[in-house]
Structure 1
């Protein structure tokens, strides 16, 4: 079996087909593979009806990739909405955290749990199916992983995934005249060093 495994990341697609997700290597790992918090980035984007691109990020998150007994992988992602930000735009940041968008006071976590997938999909690029939980609403969504650009994706290069969702399906239906319904989650993931065999 190919030892280069990849972790799925997305949401920005937050739009999910969704959001944001990556797959990573780990054939000899005995426990879950952890995302490296210093080198992993979770972001999202939404466009105004006039075409302006609004880009945000989740500075606080958790992520791991489980290596299943049959060799498949399963990714688990959590993003904490109380820390979401639109860099350099405090007013937009407050709005994104408010009840019209992520509603961080009531729903502090956005979660994505994938179905088991073949890790080869990450090296070659492909879709990872899973379930997104946002604002207390759960729907199946898809993370699209880009083909790897190095021999050890997740260690020597980012694993990049995107997912696009329709925010109205999750109760984020304010500002429809000003903002597109599509939100894309983008995940650029690196793994912490794999445990030694």
Structure 2
């Protein structure tokens, strides 16, 4: 996995980057109050995480697909968790190759010039945040950075045990407006709204001394 960049919204929606491994990280105002809190870092498990999307068509059925790769981390603090995720545009999968080419092309996501979609959530408290409440954060798409709010479906974290690593699960959905990110083409065929459904699993390091599970050997 490449170096993960923190997504920071600058003035008037401009995007700024800071290396997540920097010794002096910069946090957004919404999270600065508890910036000094130490965190456990859990890595997003790509094999268990997906992002589904739906693009509304004006006269036909909606076009659906998914991004097959999502990478990043979940920082688990004493007062909540914060998601840092990014999605490679090239990982988009749809039923039609024609739709995939259009989605990744210059008039839509423009994957050649802008290969990543990035999201950084505000600090979320699994103990108090309930399904149906907002998951706010910063989304960067095509180098445009906007505040977005998703709807929470599920958020749970568990500590490491003798047999299982530390784990966090997040499920949320929401929508964004294409035009807000500079995607203004195909107005006669596509609706402005894109719907997203995020399901991610992040895990910590395996418990000490726990190795791969070996198949049982029958006793003779």
1:45-60 alignment runs, 5 A limit: 45-60=54-69
1:173-192 alignment runs, 5 A limit: 173-192=184-203
Unpaired runs of 5+ residues, structure 2, are: 1-37, 159-165, 209-220
Of 66, 73, 80 in structure 2, the residue corresponding to residue 72 of structure 1 is 80
CA root-mean-square deviation:
2.7
Contact kept in structure 2, 1:45 and 1:185, CA below 8 Å: yes
Counterpart CA distance in 2 for 1:52 and 1:33 is: 38
Which protein, 1 or 2, shows the higher relative CO under an 8 Å CA cutoff with sep ≥ 6?
1
Give the alignment's TM-score, normalised by structure 1: 0.73
Contact kept in structure 2, 1:122 and 1:147, CA below 8 Å: no
Of 34, 48, 56 in structure 2, the residue corresponding to residue 39 of structure 1 is 48
Give the alignment's TM-score, normalised by structure 2: 0.66
Contact kept in structure 2, 1:32 and 1:65, CA below 8 Å: yes
1:144: Cα distance to partner?
1.1
- More displaced, 134-143 or 113-122? 113-122
Corresponding residue for 2:101? 94
Q: Deviations over 1:77-102 (max 9, x none)?
A: 1010122221x311111110101110
How many matched pairs?
164
Unpaired runs of 5+ residues, structure 1, are: 1-28
